[in-house]
Amino acid sequence: MANKHPTIRVETNGLSRSEVIVLLVEALRSLKWGVEHLHPMRVVAMTPRSWASHGEKVTIEIDGSGFNAQCKFDQWSPLAKRSRLQDDLDKLTSAFADARVNITPDQMSSELKELEESGVMQLDASTADANEFKWRDVGVLFIPRRGSWATPLLIDTSIVVYVLMVISGVHFMEPTVDQLIGWGGNLRAITLAGEQWRLLTCGFVHIGIVHLLFNMYALAMIGVQLEPLLGSTRTALLYVITGVAASMTSLWWHDNTVSAGASGAIFGLYGVFLALLSTDLIPKEARKQLLQSIGIFVLYNLMYGMKGGVDNAAHVGGLISGLVMGFALYPALRRVENSGLQWMTMVLPSLALIGAGSVLLGRLPADDGKFYRTIDRFQIIEERGLSPFRLPEGATGDQQLVLVQDSGIPAWREAVDLLEGTNELKLSEALAEKRRQFLEYARLRLESVELLEQVLSRSDGGPTDALDASFAKVDSVLNVLNGE
C-alpha cells in the first residue's frame, strides 16, 4: 500500500549531521519556507500559504547518512492538489543540492560556529533576530499546537489541577495529607486496594505552588529539547509510562508515604534524553555540553532528595525507566522510515516495564488498605467505648455504671473481636506492628471498663489499685500509638 504522504530519501555521504542542518537551513531560506523546529535529528518547515493552499508541512528526519523528508498538508483546502506535495519535495531536493554546491567553506564554518554557540532547538526563520526575546516564545510553553502539543498540554494539565485544588480549599503552599490523597495522591494502602489509577493521577497533583513551579520549569526545559526529537505523541506516552513506573517504584519503596508531583515522570524524560545522548544520534559537538548540563541536573536533584522529605524512589524509578525506554527507541530513531519499528520499540519495553512493576507490587503486602478500613470502623466503635468517661460534670456513679454496662463493655468487646479478625491479613511489617498495638490497646480498654464496672457496683470500692494500674497501661499504649 502506498504511503499516504509522499516521502523522499537524500543521501549525504561525506557530510556531518551539523553540515546537513546548515545546508537544509540555507535551502529553506532560499525557498522562503518558515522553520518551525530546528534540531540535530529533525527539521520541520512550513511552505508559504497561497490561494490554493493553507501551507504544507515538511518534516525532515536526519540520520547518519542522509535524511528522509515527508510532506503533507497542514490544513485541508478544497483547492489543494496532492501533486503539490511531491513538487515541494522536489524543490527541497533541488535547493539542498544548490546549497551544497554554492556554499563556501568560510560560510559553512561561520554557520557551524553560530549553530554550535546558539544552542537553540526551536527557531522561527521568519524573524531576523533569533536571540531577541518575544512574548510568543513564552506562549509556546503553554499553548498546544500541531507538532508541538505534548509539553504545553502536560504543563497546562498540572496547572489546572493545582488551581482547582486551591479553589476547592486546599492550602496553596502546604496541602494536608488527606487533601493530597483526595486529589489523587499515591499511597500504598489505598492504591493497592483497588485504586491503581493513582499511579497516574499522582503525577498531576503538587504539594504547593513552589513544588509546582520547580517541576513545570524542569518539564519545560526537557520538553523543548526532547519533543522536537521524538515527536509529540511519543513524548506524551513516555511521560505517562515513566511516570507510572516512578509511582510503582515509590509504592515498592515506601509503605506509608503519600507520593505526589510530576518529578518522577520528568526524571523519566531526562533519562530518555541521557540514553540518546550516549549514542551517535546527536552530533558530537552538541552531545558533550548537553550531557554535562543534564547530568549535573540529575545528580544534583538525586543528591538533594537524599536529605529527606523528597520521594527519591520515584526519581530513581523514573530515571531508570527513562534510560530503558531511551535505549529501546534508538533503533527506531535510526530507521525512521520503518513505521512498524517505531511502535514496536515503544510498546514492548513499556509492557516489560509495567509488567515487571506489577510483579514486584504483587509481592508486597496487599491487605494494608483493608486494615486501614478496619481502623476506620474501630474508631467509630471507640467513640461508643469511651462514652462512660465523657459524662458531664456532676454525673452520678450509677449513671456511669449504666453507660459502662450498656456501651463501654459491649463496645470494647466488639473492638477486640474486630481486630482479632485481622490476624489473617497480609500486612507490611510496620502495619503489622501497628495492628498489634491497636489490639493491645483494645484489650486494655476492655480490661479497664470491666474493672470500672466492679468498682462502681461494689459498696467496698472494689479493685481500685488494679483499675489505676490498668489506666496507666492504657496511657502507655496510647503514647506509643501517637508516636510520643
The residues carrying an active-site annotation are 263, 315
DSSP letter string over 361-419?
HHTS---HHHHHHHHHHHHHHHHHHTGGG-PPTT--HHHHHHHIIIIIHHHHHHHHHHH
Rg (CA), the chain: 32
Contact 259, 185 (CB under 8 A): yes
Among 328, 209, 207, CA closest to 275 = 328
User: Where are the extended beta strands (E) located within 413-456?
Assistant: none
Other C-beta atoms lying within 10 Å of the C-beta of residue 8: 16
DSSP letter string over 129-149?
-TTS--HHHHHTTTS-BTTB-
C-alpha cell read off for 143:
499553548
Residue with cell 497480609: 426
C-alpha cell read off for 361:
507490587
Q: How far apart are CA 17 and CA 198, in angstroms?
A: 43
| Backbone phi and psi for residue 7, each to the nearest 5 degrees, phi listed first | -135, 145
Other C-beta atoms lying within 10 Å of the C-beta of residue 135: 6
Residue 48 DSSP label: P
Residues in a beta bridge with 81: none
Residue 351 DSSP label: H
Longest dimension (CA), the chain: 116
CB contact burial 386-402 (16+ within 10 A = b; e otherwise): bebeeeeeeeeeeebbe
49: left (phi over 0), alpha (psi -120 to 50) or beta: beta
Give Cα separations from 438 to 118, 186, 387, 477 (angstroms).
64, 25, 19, 8
User: Where are the extended beta strands (E) located within 16-140?
Assistant: 34-38, 42-46, 56-62, 66-73
Q: Residues 6 or more apart from 273 whose CB is under 8 A from it?
A: 222, 225, 226, 290, 294, 322, 326
* 42-43-44 Cα angle (round to 5): 120
